[in-house]
Structure 1
Amino acid sequence: MARPSRWTDVVEAAAEEFRSRGYDSATLEDIATRVGILKGSIYNYVQNKEELLLAVVERPAEVLLADLEQLRNDDQQSATIRLQTLFRIQVRVFSDHYPAAFVYLRNIGRTDLSDKFGKFTEMDARYMGILEDLIADGVRRGEFNPPVSPRIAALSLVGILNWMQHWFTPQSDEANRRLADDLFAMALGGLTSGGSLARILAGTHDAASSVSEPDRTTTRSVR
């Protein structure tokens, strides 16, 4: 059955409501008010709030993964260029699908949702696989030399990108691209520091180990 004519408005309002109030605090009545329809009319569109959450997060998740699958298959570009493109894709999706993409990030790890959300867990695993494979390919090509495994490096980059949900607001295409490149530059510094950073950390560890603990037998409390 086709959705009523204001379905797009309902989904956009739900995204805004979930973003501002959080999924648990938002109500279907609040969403109806934001759309400007009678509270009872929302049930012409969905039976429950979970259906709306699914509608909100589905599109950005599918767009992001489809773009990254294409990136994975592009072996003509260097790993460095492909990783830069990944950052640009992610920031673009965050902007084009704001705030729905961030609603996705905040809710997709929940365990109290129906089995319909299981596909997003699988999509997340595919996303991580693409990123980890890209970093591993960069290591094989001699482009990257991270001080950690490709898996840990991938998780670290995801942390940088996912934290954008707390501070990012869409800007112009050019500004978004510059932001993506700045974030990529920081990430690239860590991926290429490799042995030198490992030596620095080892030296820090050795220095810390050489500092003796205070002799607690001679320490007196001050009253």
Structure 2
Amino acid sequence: MTKIRSRQQLIDAAAKVFAEKGYDAARLEDIAAELDVLQGSLYYHVGSKAALYRLVLLQRFETIIVAIEKIAAGTASPEDKLRQAIREQLRYLARHRSESAHWFDSLPANDKAPAEAEEDRALLLRLRESWKAIIREGIRTGAIRKNVDASVAVLSILGMTNYVARWYDPDDSRTIDQIADTQFAMVWDGLAD
């Protein structure tokens, strides 16, 4: 038996088990076995399976939010920002492919405390706002049609890009960048003025 060396080690092991088994089938015993520790050792770091799953999701979500925020704040054209953001989103999903298909399976509402639900809403708002900033800049500069509803555009883009986690196969002849480029072309053709 070893000991848990860091919170990151715990999150990585939990992410692996959740990816392999799914949230419902994964057990804390499985995560403890992945870490080669006693199950009781987990309780020193986290109070429940739901809390551990939440740590995994929050870390993954924060990472992609920061990446998209940096793209939105950059100096590239709105067209290039949108291309970069779609590519970053898909690369991120591909990097975490084994677990990313489960990211959008939410926990039952009764597994979340009101503060957690509010934190989730705030994070989701941050993500959407960074994407909207790109769309709004495109509208302001005339690169994107003025009648485009930024909220609908962003929700559509996120729906399309996030769903790739459900069907992407790295053994396919298409690379993740080729898929991103195809998605960007479809989006841009629908938005460009």
**TM-score calculated relative to the size of structure 2:** 0.78
Match of 1:113 in 2: 112
Q: Does structure 1 retain, via aligned residues, the 8 Å contact 2:20–2:99? A: no
Alignment map for 1:34-183 (pairs within 5 Å): 34-74=34-74, 76-107=75-106, 110=109, 112-114=111-113, 115-116=115-116, 118-145=118-145, 148-169=148-169, 175-183=175-183
Following TM superposition, by how much is the alpha carbon of 1:35 offset from its aligned partner in structure 2, in angstroms? 4.0
Match of 2:5 in 1: 5
**Equivalenced residues, count:** 188
CA change 1:56–1:154 in 2 (3 A) is: same
Unmatched 5+ stretches in structure 2:
none
CA change 1:36–1:168 in 2 (3 A) is: farther
Alignment of 1:33 with 2:23, yes or no, is: no
Q: Does structure 2 retain, via aligned residues, the 8 Å contact 1:57–1:104? A: yes
Following TM superposition, by how much is the alpha carbon of 1:129 offset from its aligned partner in structure 2, in angstroms? 1.4
User: Which ranges of 4 or more aligned residues in structure 1 deviate by more than 6 Å?
Assistant: none
Aligned identity (percent) is 27
CA change 1:109–1:175 in 2 (3 A) is: farther
Match of 1:23 in 2: 23
SS at match of 1:165: helix
**TM-score calculated relative to the size of structure 1:** 0.69
- What RMSD in Å do the two structures reach over aligned CA positions? 3.0
Deviation string, structure 1 residues 26-85 (Cα, Å, up to 9, x no partner): 2212323344444444435432112211221222212211122222222x3211000001
Following TM superposition, by how much is the alpha carbon of 1:117 offset from its aligned partner in structure 2, in angstroms? 5.1
Q: Does structure 2 retain, via aligned residues, the 8 Å contact 1:15–1:103? A: no
Unmatched 5+ stretches in structure 1:
195-223
Greater RCO (CA < 8 Å, at least 6 residues apart)? 2
Following TM superposition, by how much is the alpha carbon of 1:134 offset from its aligned partner in structure 2, in angstroms? 1.5
Larger Rg: 1
Deviation string, structure 1 residues 109-161 (Cα, Å, up to 9, x no partner): 95631324532320111111121231122123222238752211111111101
Following TM superposition, by how much is the alpha carbon of 1:22 offset from its aligned partner in structure 2, in angstroms? 3.0
